[in-house]
A and B are shown apart, each in its own frame.
Chain A
Amino acid sequence: MGNLLEIKNLRKSFGNHLVLDDISLAFPQGSATVVIGASGSGKSTLMRCINLLEELSDGQILLEDADISTYGINLDSVRGKIGSVFQAFNLFPHLTVLENITLAPQLVLKKGKAEATEQALSLLKRFGLEDKADAYPNLLSGGQQQRVAILRAIATEPKVLLLDEVTSALDPVLIAEVLALIAELKADGITMIISTHEMGFAKRIADSVIFLSDGKVCESGRPLQIFENPQTAELKNFLGALHEAGRL
């Protein structure tokens, strides 16, 4: 398996505050990588750097061996290849579920309306949301909204899907809905980078786990190794805290 996405010596600072410090990572085609770490460890910033919503302070990001972090690159065409889903769903409130999903395929991939609609409806049907196609987002539950947001992201047929704490705003029942959808997409072979606090899910779905601490990759490896045999004091502390909070 070749590397679909590669990060080399990435640094990101806000003013004098170094948020990501010399991050180098590789994401093989079809893999699911889970990023864990305490709040403020740089998980979200890492995600926002990958889809170029933040400008890098140093380093490189390669997508299919092409440098997408070059200054002056066409950001729109790169972002079309990277699907992003956010914690707060960010659905477009003035558009129906169907219109939310078909907007980007029509505008970015230049698909016809009929084709985009057909594709969106089959996605909605597959994930049991077909009866919500004509509903506006504010009438949906949080779990439904987040599932629609994920479908909206994959409708543009991205090379890689970024899921940034997509279940953090949901209750346990809704979390299960969303995680089931993500597991299905993983089975489809979509390359994913997931930041989450759901450790049980991370164990089940991850091909590899990355533990960020203070903006550095503190530890990384197979899920079993990370969760059962932590090496560093930081990871041991983090897992210990999760255990005490009953989340592990």
Chain B
Amino acid sequence: MTYSPSPLQLQREEAKRRASRRSTAIALLSTLIFGAVLTVIVVNAQGFSAVRESFFNWHYAQKAFPRIFDGILLNLRVLFIAEFFVLIFGLAIAIARTTTSPVLYPVRLVATIYTDIFRGMPLLLVLFLVGLGIPGLRLSFVPNSAVFLGTIALVLTYSAYVAEVIRAGIEGVNPTQRQAARALGLSHPQTLHHVVLPQAFRNVTPPLLNDLVSLQKDSGLISVLGAVDAIRAAGIETAQSFNFTPYVVAGGLFVLLTIPLTRYTDWLIRRQDRAQKAQGVF
């Protein structure tokens, strides 16, 4: 159906457009002023040229890049393996924590203690305990590699975080959904698989992806065990040249690594908001 808007509506729309042009102009101006002030402060700082020389030196950046790039590839490998196991263990722990069967009480207890410990302990500490403690046991079947042990530490810590996020998702599904499924004759596992988990994951995708982004950057911490990842590689380069540019390069690569997932998360949250609005109040 087409209609021509009344003069009143045209006037209203014109006023709206004027207001929006005005706020764009203000945003632009304030950004320019803010940027200019910041630049003046930084550039006029006493140590500016020294900092630029030792942190943003193009020569050293180029020289260190291949090695750091190799390092970031290791981070990527660790990341994918860790994410895979974190999602599996996180899901298993979350399901264990939401069971009610008395037979599974010990499982529930272990899962609760596990999340309490690994959510509370600093990742750096877990890395040291696993990376230095496990080799100390001299178990012949455990590979004594910094990458392997570092990945285990990451999985241990992040499984606890991810489990809590998934658990929140499971508990956020309306109990009437479970009831409807049970009334149709679906068994408990069938209800979980076909009705509860799909809705749970939908509800917690944004916080889940947030945890994975966090895991991406924390994969750099395995360098403390001696694994030659991007951070370690940058450290080696720095030690040779006494110039800190390699760290900046590594930092930039980590940021690049996390941006796609971050943008995807934003997009997903926006889409969910829209979907909920389409549903109205429900």
Measured CB to CB, the residues of A under 8 A from B are 51, 53, 75-77, 79-84, 86, 88, 90-94, 103-104, 107-108, 138, 152-153, 156
Given contacts A53-B179, A138-B278, contact A108 B199 (CB under 8 A): no
Please judge, given known A-B contacts A84-B183, A104-B184, A104-B185, whether A90 and B190 are in contact too, CB under 8 Å: no
Interface of B is mostly: helix
Q: Are A94 and B199 in contact (CB under 8 A)?
A: yes
- B184 contacts A53, CB within 8 Å? no
How far, in whole Å, are A234 and B24 apart by their CA atoms in the complex? 69
**B190→A107 contact, CB < 8 A:** yes
Which residue of chain A has its CB nearest to the CB of B176?
A90
Residues of A within 8 A of B177 (CB): 90, 92
With contacts A86-B176, A107-B190 known, is A51 near B184, CB below 8 A?
no
| Cα(A79)–Cα(B202), bound, Å | 28
* B272 smallest CB distance to A (angstroms): 13
B180-199 near A? 1/0 per residue, CB < 8 Å: 11111111001000110011
Distance in angstroms between the alpha carbons of A81 and B185 in the assembled complex = 8
Q: Find out whether the CB atom of A152 lies under 8 angstroms from the CB atom of B184.
A: yes
A156-B180 CB under 8 A given contacts A94-B198, A138-B279, A138-B282: no
Closest residue on chain A to residue B187 by CB atoms? A76
The complex places the Cα of A108 from the Cα of B184 at a distance, in Å, of: 8
Taking a contact as CB atoms under 8 Å apart, the answer to whether B195 and A77 are in contact is: no
Q: CB distance A88 to B184 under 8 Å?
A: no
Partner of A90, one of B180, B187, B194, B282: B180
B175 to chain A, nearest CB (A): 10
Is the pair A92, B180 in contact by a Cβ cutoff of 8 Å?
A: yes
Check if A156 sits within 8 Å of B202, measured CB to CB: no
How many Å lie between the Cα of A80 and that of B199 in the bound state?
23
Please, how many angstroms separate the alpha-carbon atoms of A138 and B281 in the complex? Answer: 11
